[in-house]
Amino acid sequence: MKCWWNHRPGMDLGGYSEEEIEVLTGCIPLLLNQCVVNGRIDLTALTPVAVKAAEFTKTTREKTNDVGNWQDWNLYVRLAQLFTMELTF
């Protein structure tokens, strides 16, 4: 990621830190590239990703927890929490 930032010195981060932007984009350079608009970070490109993630979570909940299969739902939640923790450390 250091190289990605080094190629974009002085970029307006829109009030976010480099670390916060990396967490939000998962350190995926192609996704980060989509967030650069006119030399500044614009995180609206992440909206479709967030919508798809929310839809996936809703569908997973409906297929597991909402029909009484709470064990699978709890497993999904634990895995999502672990993944989130890895992104923030």
Q: What is the pTM of this model?
A: 0.63
Span 17-61, pLDDT tens digits: 999 999 888 889 998 999 999 999 999 988 898 899 889 999 999
pLDDT given for residue 50 in this prediction: 85
Half-sphere exposure of 29 (CA within 13 A, CB side): 8
The DSSP-derived string for 8-64 is: STT-B-TT--HHHHHHHHTT-HHHHHHTEETTEE-GGGGHHHHHHHHHHHHHHHHHT
Residue 84 has pLDDT above 80, yes or no: no
